[in-house]
Structure 1
Amino acid sequence: MTTFYFVRHGKTELNLSLRFQGGKIDSPLLPIGIEQAIQAGRYLCDTSFDAVAVSTQKRAMDTANYLLKENDYLDGLTVNYYDSLREIKFGKREGIEIDHTDEQTKNLRQRPDLYDPTAFGGETIDSLVKRSTETIEQISKKYPDGKVLIVAHGVLLITLINSLIGKEKSQWREGGPLANTSITILEKENDLQNYTLKTFNDVSYQSQNEEA
């Protein structure tokens, strides 16, 4: 059985300003985002990971670094970086303020099966889930009895997780958005197609200090 620990990156400047932060843009972690990552690391400090897979975007890489610095089992641990774990691409909307009344923004959040990013050159939900699922499947085959840390992004993780546990496409955003540095744990039995959800969007370890 492979056990996956999915962690969203820490809070960033663009998160705070409520702007689209997709696969073609980055923003520094806020002090609270760094602290969230450190707290997540302390929470998982006694978990011995067999592998770590991280998005190639800086906010995810920085989060992984702060998290892993707290871990007690780093000797010999290899961290691999994947373009396939980058956030969904928002095309011309990257970096602009989110308009919650926009039809496609509503679809992205509530009905991903209806989401059509053609007008602004964005990435489809199907593309996002396909590339991320292929990576997770490859890792599960390589570590059939391992514990694997995945550090990536909000839209990617919630759609990926819901897809892996067998939800319909219309429900792929259910339970989202995931909190920054939240931990979701899935288990994959070697002979089963779907994954089992063990822990979802866990931020129980976080202090209540939300100052940016």
Structure 2
Amino acid sequence: MTTFYFVRHGKTELNLSLRFQGGEIDSPLLPIGIEQAIQAGRYLCDTSFDAALVSTQKRAMDTANYILKENNFLNGLTVRYYDNLREIRFGKREGAEIDHKDEQTNYLRERPDLYDPSSFDGETIDSLVARATQIIEMISNEYPDGQILIVAHGVLLITLINSLIGKDKAKWREGGPLANTSITILEKENHATHYTLKSFNDISYQSQNEEA
């Protein structure tokens, strides 16, 4: 059985200003985001990971570094960085203020099956989930009895997690948005089709809880 620990990156400047922060843009972790990552690391300090898979975007890489600095089992740990774990691409909307009255924004949040980003050259939900799933399936085959840390992004993680546990596409954003540095644990039995949800959007360890 492979056990996955999915962690969203810490809170950033663009999170705070409520702007689109997709796969083609980055902003630094805020002090609260750094503290969130450190607290997550302390919470997971006695978990011996066989591998850590991290998005190639700086906010995710920094979060992973803060988490792993707290871990007690780093000897021999493999850390891998994947473009396929980058956030969904928002095209021309990258960095723009989020308009909650916009139809496509609402579809992205509530009905991902209806989301069509073609007018602003964004990435489709199907593309996002397909590329992320490819990485998860690869690593579950490589580590059939492993414990794997995944550090990535809000939209990618919530859609990926809901897809992996077998929800319909219309419900791939259900339970979102994930809180910054929240921990979601999934298990996959060897050769099973779907994954089992063990813990969802856990921020119980945080001493300061803020809206993502």
> Do they fold alike, i.e. is TM over 0.5?
yes
TM-score, normalised to structure 1's length?
A: 0.98
> What are the superposed Cα offsets for residues 157-211 of structure 1, whole Å, 9 maximum, x if unpaired?
000000000000000000000000000000000121000000000000000265x
Partner Cα distance (2:203, 2:138) in 1: 28
| Counterpart amino acid of residue 206 in structure 1 | Q
Partner Cα distance (2:203, 2:95) in 1: 27
The residue number in structure 2 matching 1:29 is 29
Gaps of 5+ in 2: none
Partner Cα distance (1:64, 1:209) in 2: 19
| Counterpart amino acid of residue 81 in structure 2 | Y
How far 1:78 moved relative to its partner? Answer: 1.4
| Counterpart amino acid of residue 116 in structure 1 | D
Q: Does 1:133 align with 2:127?
A: no
| Partner SS state of residue 197, structure 1 | strand
> What are the superposed Cα offsets for residues 79-111 of structure 1, whole Å, 9 maximum, x if unpaired?
000000000000000000000000000000000
| Counterpart amino acid of residue 208 in structure 1 | Q
Partner Cα distance (2:191, 2:55) in 1: 27
| Counterpart amino acid of residue 156 in structure 2 | L
Partner Cα distance (2:28, 2:130) in 1: 28
| Partner SS state of residue 66, structure 1 | helix
The residue number in structure 2 matching 1:196 is 196
Gaps of 5+ in 1: none
| Counterpart amino acid of residue 207 in structure 1 | S
Percent identity of paired positions between Structure 1 and Structure 2: 83
Q: Does 1:159 align with 2:162?
A: no
The residue number in structure 1 matching 2:91 is 91
The residue number in structure 2 matching 1:63 is 63
Partner Cα distance (2:48, 2:151) in 1: 16
| Counterpart amino acid of residue 107 in structure 1 | Y
The residue number in structure 2 matching 1:4 is 4
| Partner SS state of residue 74, structure 1 | coil
The residue number in structure 2 matching 1:124 is 124
Partner Cα distance (1:129, 1:154) in 2: 12
The number of residues matched between the two structures is 211
Partner Cα distance (2:137, 2:65) in 1: 24
> What are the superposed Cα offsets for residues 18-71 of structure 1, whole Å, 9 maximum, x if unpaired?
000000000000000000000000000000000000000000000000000000
What RMSD over aligned residues (CA atoms) do the two structures have, in Å? Answer: 1.0
Partner Cα distance (2:80, 2:175) in 1: 28
| Counterpart amino acid of residue 20 in structure 2 | F
Partner Cα distance (2:169, 2:150) in 1: 22
